[in-house]
């Protein structure tokens, strides 16, 4: 957007300086990712740019680390575990978080602030404390080192994201629509599935994606609760860094970055769709 003709030189200077500062901050945050991606195509087993790579010679680049990734049984098992645990925990977190958000949206619910604080506490409490508590609790009920235990632990971490996103969507929800449906003879179940859910669906899906990303990227809880059979991608990367450093880790990290970008893009598109459904201008 062009600056108005009446802006002063100082305002113009701040206008462009502010954008330069924001660009530098953005570059500082994204630079490690930008460096990691080309290194994953390194033909040599190094974590640095070789002469051939800097000279843009074809022999300096290779897909060997991606081939090693998809030919390794341990990496494939960790990928499978991450998707199983991530999808299952995201589904549970979405159901529980949506129900909690719908309940907290009622004005007559007592101690709403306290309940909300308890629900989002996993986002505030340090993960090491939550992990230690989950380890002792799940050990006492024989859920430690099981898929069920890991899924439940990741569900607890994902619920706050669903509660926050669905609650934010419900702020702009018109309660008169539900009342109109009830006055026309719709049951509470019909009202929810035909009126309420379609309108808050973008927020529900956004919360589910955030819960999935949280589970897919989590390692502290896995270190405490999971066993050998429940090793996820972050756990496998942690072991690879400590035991045998290999550029395969860079290939995995590159794939995770691409997956995160795709999921966040989907979240942004859903946010814009939700604003359009509520009659707002997407910003």
Mean pLDDT, the chain cut into blocks of 10 residues (283 residues total)? 73 86 90 83 81 82 86 88 92 92 79 82 86 89 88 92 86 74 80 80 85 88 87 85 77 85 80 66 56
Q: Angle 73-104/197-217 helices, nearest 10 degrees?
A: 140
Give bridge partners of residue 42 from the DSSP assignment: 61
CA neighbours within 13 Å on the CB side: how many for 283?
Answer: 3
CA distance 134 to 140: 10
CA distance 213 to 86: 8
Q: What is the pLDDT of residue 178?
A: 75
Phi/psi for 57 (5° steps) reads -90, 140
Are 235 and 148 spatial neighbours (Cβ–Cβ below 8 Å)? no
Q: What is the pLDDT of residue 87?
A: 93
How deeply is 159 buried, as exposed, middle or buried, from its count of CB atoms within 10 A (0-12, 13-18, 19+)?
Answer: buried
Q: What is the pLDDT of residue 278?
A: 59
Residue carrying structure tokens 């496998």:
236
For 95, other C-beta atoms within 10 Å of its C-beta total: 15
Are 195 and 233 spatial neighbours (Cβ–Cβ below 8 Å)? no
Q: What is the pLDDT of residue 234?
A: 87
Structural domains for the chain? 72-277 (1.10.3720.10)
Q: What is the pLDDT of residue 152?
A: 92
Q: What is the pLDDT of residue 269?
A: 80
Q: What is the pLDDT of residue 104?
A: 82
Q: What is the pLDDT of residue 38?
A: 85
Q: What is the pLDDT of residue 180?
A: 82
Q: What is the pLDDT of residue 20?
A: 92
Are 270 and 165 spatial neighbours (Cβ–Cβ below 8 Å)? no
pTM metric for this prediction: 0.79
Q: What is the DSSP letter of 60?
A: G
Q: What is the pLDDT of residue 182?
A: 78
CA distance 220 to 232: 11
With H, G, I as helix, E, B as strand and everything else as coil, classify residue 55: coil
Tokens of 174: 């018109």
């Amino acid at each position: 957007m062009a600056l108005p003709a009446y802006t002063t030189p100082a305002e113009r200077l701040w206008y462009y300086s502010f954008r330069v500062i924001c660009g530098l901050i953005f570059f500082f945050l994204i630079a490690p990712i930008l460096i990691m991606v080309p290194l994953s195509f390194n033909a040599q087993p190094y974590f640095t740019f070789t002469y051939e790579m800097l000279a843009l010679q074809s022999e300096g680049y290779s897909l060997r680390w991606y081939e090693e990734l998809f030919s390794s049984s341990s990496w494939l098992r960790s990928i499978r575990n991450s998707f199983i645990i991530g999808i299952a925990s995201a589904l549970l977190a979405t159901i529980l978080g949506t129900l909690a958000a719908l309940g907290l949206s009622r004005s007559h619910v007592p101690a709403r602030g306290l309940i909300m604080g308890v629900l989002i506490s996993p986002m505030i409490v340090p993960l090491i404390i939550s992990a230690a508590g989950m380890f002792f609790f799940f050990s006492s009920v024989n859920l430690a080192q099981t898929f069920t235990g890991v899924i439940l632990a990741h569900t607890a971490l994902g619920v706050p994201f669903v509660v926050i996103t669905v609650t934010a969507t419900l702020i702009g929800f018109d309660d008169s629509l539900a009342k109109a449906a009830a006055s026309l003879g719709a049951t509470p179940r019909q009202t929810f599935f035909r009126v309420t859910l379609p309108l808050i669906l973008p927020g529900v899906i956004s919360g589910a994606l955030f819960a999935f990303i949280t589970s897919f990227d989590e390692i502290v809880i896995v270190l405490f609760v999971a066993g050998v059979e429940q090793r996820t991608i972050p756990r496998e990367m942690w072991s690879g860094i400590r035991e045998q450093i290999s550029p395969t880790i860079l290939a995995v990290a590159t794939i995770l970055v691409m997956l995160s970008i795709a999921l966040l893009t989907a979240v942004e598109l859903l946010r814009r769709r939700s604003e359009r459904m509520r009659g707002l201008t997407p910003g």
